[in-house]
Structure 1
Amino acid sequence: MKKGLFAVLCAFGLLTLAGCANEHIISTHDGRLIESENKPEIDEDTGLIEYQDKDGRYNQIPQSEVSEIKER
């Protein structure tokens, strides 16, 4: 009985942690909406905004093209 309850609590905890990975939407000045799997960050060396798309690829976009970044 205790093992079953422990397993359920562990599964619930893992699902809760998985929900912490928030997607972000990057809005550009030309009206595009780009979905990002992680929080976009600024590359200090290049000044570009780096993000990971739904397919797991890393991309960059110039800061001058971005109008807004929202958490989904």
Structure 2
Amino acid sequence: MIKVVLLLVGVIGSLLLSGCSSDYVMATKDGKMLLTEGKPIIDKETGLVEYTDQQGHTTQINSDDISSIIKK
């Protein structure tokens, strides 16, 4: 019985944690779709958008190359 309760708590906890961070899709002007983990950060001073891709790599792209950013 305790194992079932612990499993249930683990499943509910992981569902709650996964709901905290939203993924985004960035469409570029050349037609690419970039999936991000978390919200991309737009640096108005440099004109770059920094995001973390699905593999966990942090990448930057020029904001002029992006046509839209949509919450997934």
TM-score normalised by L of structure 1: 0.77
Structure 1 stretches lacking a partner, 5+ long = none
- Residue type at the aligned position of 1:64: D
Counterpart for residue 49 of structure 1: 49
How many residues in Structure 1 have an aligned counterpart in Structure 2?
A: 71
Counterpart for residue 63 of structure 1: 63
Deviating above 6 A after TM superposition, structure 1's stretches of 4 or more consecutive aligned residues are none
1:7-62 deviation per Cα after TM superposition (whole angstroms, max 9, x unaligned): 54575244213222111000011110000011001124422000000111100111
Stretch deviating more after TM superposition (11-20 or 37-46): 11-20
2: CA distance between counterparts of 1:55 and 1:11? 23
Stretch deviating more after TM superposition (10-19 or 24-33): 10-19
Stretch deviating more after TM superposition (13-22 or 56-65): 13-22
Stretch deviating more after TM superposition (39-48 or 53-62): 39-48
